[in-house]
Amino acid sequence: MINEKTYHIYAKKECLYCNLNESEFKVKWNELNGMVGLLHTDYEVTDLSYEELRYTGGAGGGGGGSSGFKEPPGSDSY
């Protein structure tokens, strides 16, 4: 059984980072909060949000090509 979490980070409902693992999320979240607080940007700390997604599924194949994670709305993040 696989039990994974992934994170999406948003600014004003636009996805900035998609499918981050927990350690990547912590780094990016702290960086963004620091930058928004220090730099003169179009964003405020209150504009930042995140979504935590959990996936619990069986290990191995099964086919189908679906990872169990849904992509956030908006354009591709890559």
- Report pLDDT digits (tens) over 16-57: 999 999 999 999 999 999 888 788 778 899 999 999 999 876
- Is residue 38 included in any domain, yes or no? yes
Residue 44 belongs to domain spanning: 2-57
Does residue 66 form part of some domain? no
Q: What is the pLDDT of residue 55?
A: 80
Report the pLDDT value the prediction gives residue 4, as an integer from 0 to 100. Answer: 86
- What is the rounded distance in angstroms from the CA atom of residue 9 to the CA atom of residue 28? 8
Q: Judge residue 27's burial from the number of C-beta atoms within 10 Å of its C-beta, 0-12 exposed, 13-18 middle, 19 or more buried.
A: exposed
For residues 6 and 69, is the Cβ–Cβ distance under 8 A?
yes
In-domain check, residue 70: no
74 CB-near residues (< 8 Å, 6+ apart)? 14, 15
* Burial of residue 9 (number of CB atoms within 10 Å: 0-12, 13-18, 19+): buried
The domain total for the chain is: 1
Answering whether pTM is above 0.75, one says no
